[in-house]
Amino acid sequence: MAGKDIKTMTAAFIKNSTANQTNCVPAIRARTRYRSISSYRSLLFPFLPLRVTPFTLWLILPLFLFFSCRTTPNMSEIIPDNTNVLPLERGASIYIIADVKQMRPILEQLPIVELNDRQTRQMLDRTNYLTAAVFPQNSGRRFQLAAWGNYPASQADFVLSLNKNWEKRRSQAGGSYWYSSASWLSLALSSGQAFIAASFNDEPFDPFSTADCVEMPEGFAEFRRIDAGNQLSPFSCWLENPNVIISRIMNDLGLPLNFPVRKLFINLLPIQEDRYESLIRLQFENASHARAMSVILNLASGYSPGDSNSIITSILFANPPVLNGSNVDIKSAALTNSDIESLFSLFF
């Protein structure tokens, strides 16, 4: 999606935003949605439960009608295949794109504890695709997430307005979002998309990207296409600064690395029930560095590390590395959910 189109479509999402526009949110279209009060208890986030009695029903009905009958944005349900930007802030360590329906068990292994609580599980039940960024601790931010699905935005606004732990704030990009000082969590919700952000401290993290969004690194879009039919990997991510991690792994194997790895890409593909295959691409400054790494991995392929390093063997040495210009591609053995958790612990 071209940057101009993204900027135009962003204006439709952020209400009353005419002067301050972000350029990275997919297109939206307004429509009216009506919801029932009985659906309050199925809300997606850790809102305060609302006890409805015949007396309180008559008290809150006018407010509920105001919130549920207002026009809410209905956003695109999918991430466009041709996009080169994500609606996330720069500065993260890891960026993730995932098909939630296919890769739900894998997403629950990510180092985002909120993905495993009851309310977020309910949110994921309604989500089709998501993008996420995981930030280094010294940034003050924990994670940022943009999700596409079908959400009860009207009920969310209503219940949050009654919960003293949540307050509405103005976004620097225009529009508004909800912030919880108790959990250091920020939230903006429409009927078709959710934006969530979390911090390591009490400084609110605006869930909308307030500057230019992060661009996919060179070669990443092509890497996600896993066959000639342009099918996309259901789970892809890249590491912004992988050199320290790769150097540590190689040093642990007794294989010192004397040249930097620029980027690390990962695809995860389901190959059978509860089994996945990982494709890793190490991106180097030039072809000679990539060739040297390919030689090192080939020479080390007969190395048999101890049990504590078995996951490294399954990833790095299960198949011969493939030299691809200034890249080295590595295909793993079949991995279980437990293996994926170990993989994440290595790179995340």
Instruction: Decide which of 195, 214, 233 is a domain's last residue.
Output: 214
Domain assignment present for 73: yes
Do 210 and 241 share a structural domain?
A: no
Total tally of structural domains belonging to the chain = 2
Do 313 and 206 share a structural domain?
A: no
Do 281 and 221 share a structural domain?
A: yes
* pLDDT computed for residue 313 by the predictor: 80
* pLDDT computed for residue 29 by the predictor: 30
Per the structure block, which two tokens stand in for 264? 């690390």
- Characterise 91 by phi-psi region: left (phi > 0), alpha (psi -120 to 50), beta (else): left
Do 206 and 227 share a structural domain?
A: no
Do 174 and 44 share a structural domain?
A: yes
Instruction: From first to last of the 348 residues of the chain, give the pLDDT tens digit.
Output: 444 444 443 444 443 333 333 344 433 333 323 233 333 333 334 433 444 433 333 333 333 333 333 332 333 444 556 678 899 999 999 999 999 999 999 998 888 888 877 878 888 899 999 999 999 989 999 999 999 999 988 888 888 888 888 999 998 887 889 999 988 999 998 888 899 999 999 888 999 887 778 999 999 999 998 876 678 999 999 999 999 888 888 888 888 777 889 999 999 999 988 899 999 999 999 999 999 999 988 887 766 554 445 788 888 888 999 999 999 999 999 999 889 988 888 887
Tell me which residue of 40, 237, 322 sits closest to 157, measured CA to CA.
40
* pLDDT computed for residue 301 by the predictor: 73
* pLDDT computed for residue 248 by the predictor: 87
Q: How far apart are the first and last CA of the chain?
A: 29
Per the structure block, which two tokens stand in for 146? 């943009």
* pLDDT computed for residue 196 by the predictor: 93
Do 61 and 157 share a structural domain?
A: yes
Domain assignment present for 20: no
Number of Cβ atoms within 10 Å of the Cβ of 290: 23
Domain assignment present for 13: no
Tell me which residue of 86, 347, 115, 327 sits closest to 215, measured CA to CA.
86
Per the structure block, which two tokens stand in for 207? 């869930």
User: Domain limits at 74?
Assistant: 25-214
* pLDDT computed for residue 274 by the predictor: 86
Do 263 and 188 share a structural domain?
A: no
Tell me which residue of 58, 101, 83 sits closest to 6, measured CA to CA.
83
Check: CB of residue 148 under 8 Å from CB of residue 192.
Answer: yes
* pLDDT computed for residue 318 by the predictor: 87
Find the radius of gyration of the CA atoms of the chain.
Answer: 22
Instruction: Decide which of 173, 197, 214 is a domain's last residue.
Output: 214
Helix or strand (DSSP H, E) at 70: none
Domain assignment present for 16: no
Do 141 and 256 share a structural domain?
A: no
Name the amino acid, one letter, at 181: S
3-state secondary structure of 328: strand
Whole-angstrom distance, CA of residue 38 vs CA of residue 17: 33
Domain assignment present for 3: no
Domain assignment present for 6: no
Check: CB of residue 29 under 8 Å from CB of residue 73.
Answer: yes
Do 197 and 55 share a structural domain?
A: yes
Tell me which residue of 40, 37, 58 sits closest to 49, measured CA to CA.
40
Domain assignment present for 95: yes
Instruction: Decide which of 214, 236, 271 is a domain's last residue.
Output: 214
The two most distant CA atoms of the chain are separated, in Å, by 76
Check: CB of residue 196 under 8 Å from CB of residue 186.
Answer: yes
Q: Residue 342: exposed, middle, or buried by beta-carbon count in 10 A (0-12, 13-18, 19+)?
A: middle
Do 57 and 201 share a structural domain?
A: yes
Q: In this structure, are strands 176-180 and 85-86 parallel, antiparallel, or unpaired?
A: unpaired
Domain assignment present for 314: yes
Of the CA atoms within 13 Å of residue 339, those in its CB half-sphere come to 18
Q: Which ranges of 253-329 does DSSP label H, i.e. alpha helix? A: 287-299, 310-316
* CA of residue 261 relative to chain centroid, distance: 23
Do 172 and 62 share a structural domain?
A: yes
Per the structure block, which two tokens stand in for 158? 């209503």
Number of Cβ atoms within 10 Å of the Cβ of 187: 23
3-state secondary structure of 241: coil
Do 177 and 221 share a structural domain?
A: no
